[in-house]
Structure 1
Amino acid sequence: RDAMHTVFLYHAVPKGLNMSIVNPGGLPRYSDIDETSRKLCEEVILNKSADGKHVERFLEFAENVKKPAPAAAAGGAGGAPGAAQGKDAWRNGTYVERLQYGLIHGIDKFIDGDVEEARADLKIPLHVIEGPLMQGMGIIGDLFGAGKMFLPQVIKSARVMKKAVGYLTPFMEEEKRAAALASGEDPDQPKYNGVVLMATVKGDVHDIGKNIVGVVLGCNNYKVIDMGVMVPCEKILERAVQEKVDVIGLSGLITPSLDEMVYVAEQMKARDMKMPLMIGGATTSKRHTAVKLATKYEHGIIHVLDASRSCTVVSSCLSSEKKSYLEDIKDEYTEIREEYYATLVDKKWKTLQQAQKMKPTIDWSKVPPKP
């Protein structure tokens, strides 16, 4: 059943499915389903096979799955050691491989030990985040974009990432404090490179990606004002003016957050604000930012793909090259918009009435029921 659900979603989401009720704990990744099971599921779901006997094959396979293998049936401590060893075989990899596997599969049991091993090797805690951890999140982003991972799985992965960053945070704080003392500065009154306000927009409670960006920026000597989740537009903009921030960063994971981000951009223009606006989150994209957001506010809207890019973006927004940087972004987004609108020209839309007249007609008399 779990494999059936995953295969169904894999094919249905690109065809327009936008609502489903599933058990996120029993939803394997599409690429993790063995080829035989995946083929059988796809034949049944698509009702298509070379010989037309896919249902019979599927039922036969399901019956065999129900029957425990002789070794497993023996049970006990020595019943099926091979299965247990196979399940934990990933623990034999390098710490990079183990960290990425744990992230992708949402396993946090070993994360502290693996992160500590990475920290001991890489020496600098931030390098663990920007290296193997962000590489793992990048793989997750690619799988999610390809429809091979779904939102519940991404959330499980994000929780593992949060635990990993939480383990590293005290080490990074201590490192930052030591650096301030070494340079003769008061660690309790640091001099920042700039001020960034971060918030998850109204209607959205997801904050793990935002928190990671905050950690990365903080480690690069930026003051980060984190307003948390479910933050209304008015509070974001009022705080930005009050704190005289240099950049605003908006985060969101669910689709309605995209509309709220558009509203924030419109209100920034209405209030004649001047600071650049960063956009990030699982449902955001460069194309959406170019098409829906970039035209709403003229002082810089930048889509940030992941936390590792945030420092480069903020640094560019605060540098002497800010004007040319934002102009380049604007030109890129204009090109993306034009390409997007060009794809709509050849689309021929039909009215609801026209579509209803095209519904398929089936002559059931030609399809006798099976006994």
Structure 2
Amino acid sequence: MRDAVPSTPGSAGGPPPQRAGEDVRIPMLRQQIKKREGRPNMCLADFISPQGDWIGGFAVTAGHGIDAHSARFKAAHDDYSDIMLKALADRLAEAFAERLHAHVRSDLWGYAPGEQLTNEALIREQYRGIRPAPGYPACPDHSLKPILFDLLDATNATGITLTEHFAMFPTAAVSGFYFGHSDAEYFGVARVGKDQLEDYATRRAVDLETATRWLRPNLD
């Protein structure tokens, strides 16, 4: 299993630069659904202070080396073993991500020293901080993965590569961002209006057609 876990001062906003050593702005999306009074329309950028704060990133995999075994199982028409191999690799990658997050909380960032949680508490995510992944409800745009991978130098550190459609290979891999704010929580961006789509295209420095393709599942 391999991992890459740097942290970097960050903010959420405009298009990312392409050269190391420059500030990187990570654009996030805000909920636009109507809520009852007193409930905010959330955005992951809300958990990063513009006065100076930290955002982290990670990429882990447990999938290197399984292709040869998968091919051997398929050649023997052993579908069960092939399925179980891939499922085990996926579970190991998820467990690796969980363990790495605990290391960040208790050691690297150290805001939860001596943290002791039961398995049930871990499953219920009863710890401070979140690790949303590009493509998931709070961060639905898969195209943020190249920004994350550039920050981490993830391909060099882990051997994980991205396809042209932003899928990770090996497929038994997990990547995402770390937010340590005490109020950070998971949510779904849900539907995105044309106004935010146009603003997002501007912030990403891409044409509207490209932004539409990236956000199509969330568009009205």
TM-score bracket for this pair, using the shorter chain length: under 0.3
The structure whose Rg is larger is 1
User: Relative contact order (C-alpha < 8 Å, sep 6+): which is higher?
Assistant: 2
Higher strand share: 2
Identify the structure with the greater helix proportion.
Answer: 1
